[in-house]
Amino acid sequence: MRTWHACTGAELLAEDPAVTAGRLASAQQLRGFPGSADQELAWRAQIAALRRAVAALGGEAWTIALEYELLRLEKRIDAVVLTDRAILCLEFKTAPPSPAALAEAEDYALDLRDFHAGSRRHAIVPLLVAGQGGFRPPEQPWLLPTHPTAPLPCGPGALDQAIAWVQRSLPPPATPLDGAAWLAAPYRPVPSIVEAATMLYARHGVAEIAAARADAPSLTRTAAAIARQIARAKAEGAKLVVFVTGIPGAGKTLCGLNAVFGPARQEGAAFLTGNVPLVAVLREALVRDAVTRDEAGRAEAERRTRAALQNVHRFLEDGATAPGRPPPERLIIFDEAQRAWDEAKARLGTQNKRSRLTMSEPAHTLEIMGRHQGWAVVVALIGNGQEINTGEAGLREWGRVIAANRAWRAVAAPRALAAADPVQRLADGPAPWLDIEADLDLTLPMRSLREAAGAEWVAALLEGDAASAQRIAATAPGLPYYLTRDLGALRAALRQLARGNRRAGLVRAAGARRLRAEGLAAEVASREVADWFLRRWPDVRASDALEAAATEYACQGLELDVVGLAWGGDFIRQGGAWLARAFIGHRWQAAPRDFAFIRNTYRVLLTRARYETIIWVPPGSAATEPFHDRTRPAAEMDAIATHLLACGAMPLASLPATPAPVVAPDLLAPLRQS
């Protein structure tokens, strides 16, 4: 049971409040949390308010759950009260009501709606019990209340009045609330990548991450398969590359973090990525969490996270400049390994720093990790269809260097041999150095919580296969993709959808250069990415300020709850097909060599949302305008919008006032068993 203490209203009234508070203190101690006098005083005040409300309203038959655990970032609802009409989600604060506290109460209610199986068919009402004020009903009485409702504030002395108003305002439910069944119903949250990384890092493992969808057993299998291969390498003293393939949003990063923060952490393990924004966001999130939990001071927390999460290019350069010296890590996770640099790019380096590499990045990786006596493992995470830059070597280079080095073997799923593009094939057929393990392929999307068919729909859309996309949309009525031509409407809808503490943000392609003429010029600079993903409005640096848009380079590997995608002139419809373009000088030029990269850019942007994605296709410039802009003709934008609608994207006007709750009968158990 997730609650620290559950009882009926009658039992709450019959029991000495000191005993009830003692039960909570005992539950707190059993879970390893430190107690305090302030916490006990707070519990006593909450229990007193609940007792008064139950007694005043005849709620002896109600069910009351105190300290109901929500595993997303280890939060707890202070109290859940099940009346005969509604699920009341109570958050207690001593200070007067604030926007942040109201958002917190609403977020708890949203969590119950989306992830608690027993809450989906019932009215959920968040109540913020704060300050010492009374209760004022909403100015507009509930006619068709949202699910959950907007949070209601009241003081503890007026809690009975607030509950009485709710009871009068809601009709009896179609299905009666059963307290025992509700307490036993599964709660299966799906943490974001930042939340999951925080929990994994804090726990040194994955035992406390809750189950989520039963339709994602591949995550369980893949995590277990990685663990088996690491154990095999250790037992045999072998050197092994483990290739983990998967579609966007299937959980590759989560599997990698699970391996790094698991048992191998004690023997030296690191998550390596060239995705600078991902490193910045995860490092900052882990540091903040460690400091909040008093695990370490900021300087020590930063040192630890730098060791666990590293820039792959710096790791390789450090190894290349210290020949013969093995690295501290015996296990490394190479994120987006298909994007590792080929030799030409590795030698060239970047505009800011001359490279010290002399081989491709896969070749340097094997040479550096091969310096260990005994076992070493490289887990290579492969994001199919996410190559967005030139100079990316693909799987072919990994296969070449492994085949040329007898000290190394590899294991991969069949997908690693089956790509249509030969650059993305590990080998052209069976190879003596390669073992096949089907469980290393992640085929089911986990990021999208509204509809599992989202990745498949995006693939059909970007292939230009409108018939297949429409067929997918027709069989997936909850497909969370909407279309608007109005930037103001886009922002308004994002704010409507980002209820509670859920996060909205704008994204755009780096090559969509003419969006600035449409009113969306600002991009999120690399130094601002952590603030954009982690801060909250009213901080104007936050994503939900909806001012700056993150490009594919800033958001790959990360996610938002709700996304507004600004479609640019770099990927348009022409002659019934997609055309990739680059803006050079003062005009667009066809870029056929970059077609795959630009298409993959939109694949990345279209798969960043955990809930809804709203696509904004700008109106463009009409030919009849006095100052017609030939770089953004309205006809081009109209053709894009027409294709999106033909594929099954829904007009924004059809967005329901309250989107349907997430249907995730069962999603992250996965890692609990790895």
How confident is the model over 463-469, as a mean pLDDT? 95
Could you tell me the two tokens for 154?
């009241």
46: alpha, beta or left? (left if phi > 0; alpha if psi -120 to 50)? alpha
**pLDDT recorded at residue 674:** 37
pLDDT bucket at 661, cuts 50 / 70 / 90? low
Angstrom distance (rounded) from CA 285 to CA 141: 40
DSSP 554-588: HHTT--BSEEEEE--TTEEEETTEEEEEEEETTEE
Q: CA gyration radius for the chain?
A: 27
pLDDT score, position 452: 72
Task: Tell me, letter by letter, the H, E, C secondary structure of 51-104.
Answer: HHHHHHHCCCCCEEEEEEEECHHHEEEEEEEECCCCEEEEEEECCCCCHHHHHH
Residues 553 and 633 in one domain: yes
**Alpha-carbon separation of residue 310 from 238, 269, 280, 307, 333 (angstroms):** 24, 10, 10, 6, 10
The larger pLDDT score, comparing residue 185 to residue 263, is at: 185
Over residues 663-669, the mean pLDDT reads: 35
Measured CA to CA, the distance from residue 357 to residue 317 in angstroms comes to 6
Query: Is-contact 568 517, C-beta < 8 A?
Result: no
- Backbone φ and ψ of 158, nearest 5°: -110, 15
Query: What pLDDT, on the 0 to 100 scale, is given for residue 478?
Result: 79
DSSP string over 394-417: HHHHHHHHHHT-TTEEEEE-THHH
37 in a domain, yes or no? yes
| Ramachandran category for residue 539: left, alpha or beta (phi over 0 → left; psi -120 to 50 → alpha) | beta
CA pair distance 147, 515, nearest whole angstrom: 36
Question: For the segment 595-614, what is each residue's pLDDT rounded down to a tens digit?
Answer: 988 999 999 999 999 999 99
Domain extent, residue 59, equals: 3-184
pLDDT-based confidence at 120, cuts 50/70/90?
confident
pLDDT at 227 over 80: yes
pLDDT of residue 201: 72
Q: Which of 138-147, 569-578, 584-593 has the lowest mean pLDDT?
A: 138-147
Strand order in the sheet with 63-70: 3-8, 63-70, 75-82, 87-93, 124-130, 152-154
- Cis link prior to 651 (omega < 30° from 0)? no
Residues 264-309 have pLDDT tens digits of 777 889 999 988 888 889 889 889 888 887 888 899 989 988 988 9
Answer whether residue 2 shows pLDDT above 90: no
CA-wise closest residue to 239 among 324, 365, 337: 365
Residue 342 and residue 275 share a domain: yes
Give the whole-number percent of the chain exceeding pLDDT 90: 63
State residue 447's pLDDT score: 64
CB atoms within 10 A of CB 292: 11
The string of pLDDT tens digits covering residues 138-184 is 988 887 788 899 999 999 999 999 999 999 999 988 888 999 999 99
The predicted pLDDT at position 663 comes to 41
- The pLDDT value recorded for residue 350 is 59
User: Lowest-confidence range among 280-289, 579-588, 657-666?
Assistant: 657-666
The per-residue pLDDT for 31 is 80
Domain boundary residue, one of 414, 442, 470: 442
Per-residue pLDDT, 174: 86
Contact criterion met (CB below 8 Å) for 95 and 148: no
Which pLDDT score, from 0 to 100, does residue 385 have? 57
Compute the mean pLDDT over every residue in the chain, rounded to the nearest whole number. 88
For residue 34, cis peptide bond before it (omega within 30 degrees of 0): no
Tokens 């199919």 belong to: 384
**663 is a domain residue:** no
- Decide if 464 is inside a domain: yes
Query: Within this chain, do residues 515 and 635 fall inside the same structural domain, yes or no?
Result: yes
Amino acid at 480: P
pLDDT in tens, 22-66: 999 999 998 877 888 899 999 999 999 999 999 999 999 999 999
Beta bridge partners of 481: 613
Q: Give CA–CA dist 373/330, Å, rounded.
A: 10
- pLDDT value of position 196: 76
Are both 435 and 458 inside the same structural domain?
A: no
- 327 and 434: one domain? yes
User: 520-545, pLDDT tens digit by residue?
Assistant: 878 898 889 999 999 998 899 999 99
Q: Report the C-alpha gap between 270 and 265 in whole angstroms.
A: 8
Domain with residue 383: its CATH number is 3.40.50
In a domain, 661, yes or no: no
- Answer with the one of 413, 442, 471 that is the final residue of a domain: 442
In this predicted structure, what is the pLDDT of residue 262?
78
Q: Are residues 143 and 197 in the same domain?
A: no
- The pLDDT assigned to 657 comes to 67
Answering whether pTM is above 0.85, one says no
pLDDT band (50, 70, 90) for residue 386: low
- Would you state the pLDDT for residue 669? 37
Q: Identify whether 317 is part of a domain.
A: yes
Per DSSP (E only), the strands in 475-548 are 481-484, 504-508
Indicate whether 12 and 52 sit together in one domain: yes
| In a shared domain, residues 458 and 572 | yes
Write the pLDDT tens digit of every residue in 345-376: 888 865 556 778 899 999 999 999 999 999 99
Q: Are residues 315 and 373 in the same domain?
A: yes
Q: Is residue 169 part of a domain?
A: yes
Both 472 and 432 in one domain: the answer is no
**Between these two residues, 204 and 355, which has the higher pLDDT value?**
355
Find residue 651's DSSP bridge partners.
483
Contacts of residue 244, defined as CB under 8 A and 6 or more positions apart, other chains included, come to 222, 226, 252, 255, 256, 379, 380, 381, 382, 413, 440, 441, 442
Q: What's the total number of domains in the chain?
A: 3
What is the reported pLDDT for 591?
95
86 shares a domain with 55: yes
**Contact between 346 and 309 (Cβ < 8 Å):** no
